[in-house]
Amino acid sequence: MLNKLTIKNIALIESVTIDFLSGLNVLSGETGSGKSVIIESLNFVLGAKADRSLIRSGQSDCYVCAEFDVSNNKSIFDTYNEFDFDCDDLLILSRKFDVNGKNSIKINGNAVNVSMLRKFTRSLVDVHGQSEHFELLNAGNQLKLLDNFCGDDAYSLKNDIKILYDELRAVNKSLDELGGDESYRLNRLDVLNYQINEIENANITENEESELQGIREKIKNQEKILNSLNSIKQTINAENGISDLILLGIKNANLISNFAPEYSNLYDQLSNLMDFSDNILSNTQSMIDGFEYNDYDNDYIEHRLELIKTLKKKYGNGFLEIMSFLKDAIIERDKLNNFNENAEKLLKRKDVLLHELFVLYEKLGVLRRDYALKLSNNVCNELYELGMENAKFEIKFNNAPIFENCKFDSPNGYDQVEFLFSANLGEPLKNLSSVISGGEMSRFMLAIKAQSAKYNDVSTYVFDEIDAGISGKVANTVAKKLVKISKNTQVIAITHLPQISVYADNNLLISKSEKDEKTVTNVKALTSDDKINEIVRLVGGSLDSKSAREHSIELIKEAEEYKKTI
């Protein structure tokens, strides 16, 4: 429920903080005092479209903060989890809007956008006349309300349907993994066979690409390579080359090797160097002798390299990835080839599930239609009590499909519903979203909510213009229905009628005053004495009138006595 609303710089409001209570909260005040601005501010923080006209004259921005107790609102905790927010029983929404059109929105300190804000607020407040939070304008919510009205019978059926529906989805998933329908399966087999044949026929080896690239480079640079190798050979083996110079050193070292150990070591080192030089010469000669690439067809090398390049583009960035792709493709092909054997049981189970689901869909459809008639009659009776003797309300269903046409795409059955309403004699029934809002629409919503409040996830109802066009006995009936609703759901109502104000658990007076040559809106929570004075004003009496005060006190007393009976 809404605990607190803080408003700054919206219309005539400079800065106010309003504390709301559970039960029935009633806002009253003179016409033009700013009651509607409070509802507009609430809509703003709940995610309604904002424009610069909201901002108080002379100010650069406006701000609203709303604090909600959501400890009993399961939907909010689902939304917490959806956005990975820390769950908290206190939900704090704040929204700031400046003259440049910039929004700053936070939920429990987390910055969010308007779309995310609305996901949180859709189950918080139902504000009559505002489509953003008018839950019953949504067809899905209409069906949900009807199902809740059906009670445990619908809950049990929907639970059975969900079990079968979940199993059907699992079976369909398994069938898809096996290859899906025959057309898809055959197309997929064609693709897999092509891919497998292409890889297998290529017959590539792990190091083939690098080896071919090496051969290509040697062929491309063979003249340069041979010239370099021959130059190395000449450097070692030519007259006065490296070999001759090392040999001369060995001879000189041998002349002195007996005179000291270090001379002997020098001789050994030069001998080893000579052996090393001979090895280099031998290896170089082998490279020269072995430089024969006539056996390699250059076109063949280029063809193989291009083939490997193509396979890498299609199937993986290297030999191992290509082989892994081949392995997976073979496994999938085998699975598809064995489809009939593997799928037979799944297809039989699917057929059983579809028929069992359709039976439950039909049972749920019959149940809904029976309860829809009961709900329609109950709402019409409520409307009659509210002074709308000629109002009509019906719940329209789609045509129930036959088995062959049923989509089986929902765990909620095949039904679609539409709430239709007509306020006056001779007016055709229309979809709720087509009905013009006003006092009659407010009373219709009151009738609906009188039947649905205990089933609805919404924790706060807001009624604006609830008293339009009513008085006397009907006004008293409206008040009593608001009291009944407020036992399960917090209610905030704006009214000009004493018959409604007397039933309030929390009376809030909206008034205007002048400050610094500007008009400002004020909000005051009324004490018991203040409430009496406000009822006197609403009944049109004078505060100095003893009879008016006694009448007001009597009205409040009767209201309190009635509330004790609920």
Q: What is the pLDDT of residue 411?
A: 93
> Is-contact 468 439, C-beta < 8 A?
yes
Q: What is the pLDDT of residue 81?
A: 84
Does residue 453 carry a pLDDT above 80? Answer: no
Please choose, from the candidates 42, 243, 10, the residue with its C-alpha nearest in 3D space to the C-alpha of residue 132: 42
Banded pLDDT at 223 (limits 50, 70, 90): confident
Give dist(CA 130, CA 134) in Å, integer.
6
Give dist(CA 366, CA 373) in Å, integer.
11
Q: What is the pLDDT of residue 347?
A: 87
Per-residue pLDDT tens for 506-549? Answer: 999 999 888 877 888 899 999 999 999 999 999 988 888 889 99
Q: Which two tokens stand for residue 112?
A: 């969010």
Q: Residues 202, 203, 205, 208: is their CA dihedral positive or negative?
A: negative
Give dist(CA 338, CA 345) in Å, integer.
13
Q: What is the pLDDT of residue 273?
A: 92
Mean pLDDT of 119-125: 84
Please choose, from the candidates 293, 333, 282, 96, the residue with its C-alpha nearest in 3D space to the C-alpha of residue 211: 293
Query: What percent of the chain stands above pLDDT 90?
Result: 49
> Is-contact 458 124, C-beta < 8 A?
yes
Q: What is the pLDDT of residue 295?
A: 58
Banded pLDDT at 292 (limits 50, 70, 90): low
Q: Please tell me the pTM assigned to this model.
A: 0.65
Per-residue pLDDT tens for 192-204? Answer: 999 999 999 999 9
Q: HEC states along 87-146?
A: CCCEEEEEEEEECCCCEEEEECCEEECHHHHHHHHCCCEEECCCCCCCHHHCHHHHHHHH
Please choose, from the candidates 506, 564, 530, 542, the residue with its C-alpha nearest in 3D space to the C-alpha of residue 26: 506
Per-residue pLDDT tens for 63-105? Answer: 999 999 988 887 888 888 888 888 888 999 999 999 998 999 9
Ramachandran angles phi, psi of 410, nearest 5°: -150, 140
Does residue 442 carry a pLDDT above 80? Answer: no
Q: What is the pLDDT of residue 134?
A: 59
Q: What is the pLDDT of residue 132?
A: 40
> Is-contact 267 250, C-beta < 8 A?
yes
Does residue 383 carry a pLDDT above 70? Answer: yes
Q: Residues 178, 180, 185, 189: is their CA dihedral positive or negative?
A: negative
Q: What average pLDDT does the structure give for the chain?
A: 88
The DSSP code for 426 is: T
Banded pLDDT at 293 (limits 50, 70, 90): low
- Amino acid identity of residue 218, one-letter, is K
Residue with structure tokens 């505002």? 130
Strands 61-69 and 2-10: antiparallel
Does residue 54 carry a pLDDT above 60? Answer: yes
- Amino acid identity of residue 465, one-letter, is E
Does residue 21 carry a pLDDT above 50? Answer: yes
Residue 491 burial (CB < 10 Å; 0-12/13-18/19+)? buried
Q: What is the pLDDT of residue 30?
A: 87
Q: What is the pLDDT of residue 257?
A: 87
Does residue 449 carry a pLDDT above 50? Answer: yes
Q: What is the pLDDT of residue 131?
A: 47
Give dist(CA 132, CA 121) in Å, integer.
9
Mean pLDDT of 123-151: 75
Mean pLDDT of 382-387: 86
Mean pLDDT of 471-477: 85
Cα separations (Å) of 362 from 159, 278, 356, 401?
A: 15, 97, 10, 9
Give dist(CA 479, CA 179) in Å, integer.
63
Give dist(CA 511, CA 496) in Å, integer.
13
